[in-house]
Amino acid sequence: MNDSEPFERHLGNTYSDMIIYDTRLNVNVKPLEGGDKVTLRFSFSWLNGYWTLPSVKITDTNTNGDYNLTTDENIMAPAHFSYHCNGHTVFSDSNGVELHIYDLQVQTDSKNGKFGDANDCVSFTTAPIWSGLFVTTLLGIGLIVALTAIMDIKTMDKFDNYKTKNLTITISE
């Protein structure tokens, strides 16, 4: 939180009995430092068979504050899929309040409390994949040029005459 002085609050792990499931995902977290509770309410919306997670509302009993945070990231997945991101996801507002979530995985319609297939935040074509495709393309072009050059080699038949005996060159050691 960005108030008069820099203030940082680290939240601990959440036990499964502290999570309330309804139209929103409510997570009650007991912070590591102090006995105050923080409630995170994640709001989901559905659009054309995809669900999105655009915002989270934080209620802090220590400061009696409510914060509505949004994210610039596109957190979305198809129905029956989960969203997963190994990095950190940042929710923020215009007052400088930020919520950093590391290793986020969420799903709105899980079955038996287990996540479905994950829609990962890292795209399929990462930098190593692009560089591998680039190098493979260069090597393929080089191979095509080399094979074309080999196929264009003509045998020297300038001195051959079909009426006389063919020119033969023998090699001996």
pLDDT tens, 137-162? 999 999 999 999 999 888 776 666 67
Distance CA 65, CA 70 (A): 16
- Tell me 18's DSSP state: G
18 pLDDT above the threshold of 60: no
- Written as six digits, the tokens of 115 are 């996540």
Distance CA 104, CA 74 (A): 13
- Tokens 């990231």 -> residue: 73
In order of their start, the domains of the chain are: 16-120 (2.40.160.110)
Higher pLDDT, 134 or 103: 134
What mean pLDDT do residues 9-37 have?
A: 58
- Tell me 39's DSSP state: E
Distance CA 123, CA 125 (A): 6
What mean pLDDT do residues 102-116 have?
A: 78
Q: Is the whole-model pTM more than 0.85?
A: no
**Which amino acid does the sequence have at 124?**
F
Residues 128-138 pLDDT 10s: 889 999 999 99
Distance CA 57, CA 71 (A): 12
CA-to-CA dists, residue 61 to 35, 37, 70, 99, 149, angstroms? 10, 6, 21, 16, 77
Higher pLDDT, 130 or 33: 130
Q: What is the mean pLDDT of the chain?
A: 76
- Tell me 44's DSSP state: E
